[in-house]
Every structure is written in structure tokens, then in C-alpha cells.
Amino acid sequence: MKQEGRLVHIVDDDEAVRDSLGFLLECNDIEACNYCSADEFLRTAPADISCLVLDLHMPGTSGLELLKQLRARGSAMPIIVISGRIDPVLGAEVRAAGASAILSKPFDDQALLALIKQALETG
């Protein structure tokens, strides 16, 4: 049974990734809301968010820029960063910006699911 108010927001410019993550969450009774860009997320997302799964490399506002903006606004929401291209320097910058976790694409679905469930339980 889905928990009311426990919505995971997914920001990724790759429609296939958004769809597969949405399906993974739906199969585990977790609701998801998808955004194709950081800019769309900033325009339309509610203020109170339980968990954000955020792609790092996107056109327009990058995932790192969004992460920094949210933290600068005082947001403490769990933010799980996913990326197909991450090196040690960028990984350190993402952690310093306040990411809760970082996963490299392709990632293990169960590892992501465990991080999301932990975020929902503690958030």
C-alpha cells in the first residue's frame, strides 16, 4: 500500500531512465513524479519533498547546480545523485554540495531502492 505524502521526485533528461525508475518505484509501492529537467523541477515542484533522485548531467541547469541551489535555500531533503559520468573530483564536489548519496549509471536497482527507502523513513 502506497504511503500518502511520500513522493519521490525524479529529475533526469533521459525519458527511459525516468520511466524505468518510475516503474521500479511503482512496483515497490512508492509514488514518483518525473521531471525532464532541473528547470522544470524548479518551476513546478512543491516545496515539501520527501526525496529527490537527481541526474547530474542535463541540458540547461545541471544537477549539480540544482543541488547547490536547493542546499543554499536551506533544503535538507535527501538528494540521491545518479550519473553516467562521474570522476573522483566531481564526486567530491557533489558530496561537498550536500548529496545524500551518489550512484553511477548503470546502477543496481536494489541499491537505489534501499537508499530511497532509507530517505523516506528518515525524511
Q: Average pLDDT of the chain?
A: 91
Instruction: Please report the pLDDT score of residue 92 as a whole number.
Output: 94
Q: What percent of the chain has pLDDT over 70?
A: 95
Instruction: Please report the pLDDT score of residue 1 as a whole number.
Output: 41
Give the C-alpha separation, 63 to 52, whole Å.
Answer: 11
Instruction: Please report the pLDDT score of residue 2 as a whole number.
Output: 45
Q: Which residue has the higher pLDDT, 50 or 23?
A: 23
Beta-ladder partners of 8: 32, 51
Q: What is the pLDDT of residues 56-68, one digit of tens each?
A: 999 999 999 999 9
Instruction: Please report the pLDDT score of residue 123 as a whole number.
Output: 63
Domains of the chain: 7-122 (3.40.50.2300)
pLDDT mean over 17-45: 95
Residue 102 has pLDDT above 90, yes or no: yes
Which three cell numbers mark 23? 516503474
Instruction: Please report the pLDDT score of residue 36 as a whole number.
Output: 97
- Nearest in space to 26 (alpha carbons), one of 96, 102, 116: 116
Give the C-alpha separation, 12 to 27, whole Å.
Answer: 20
- Nearest in space to 86 (alpha carbons), one of 68, 99, 76, 74: 99
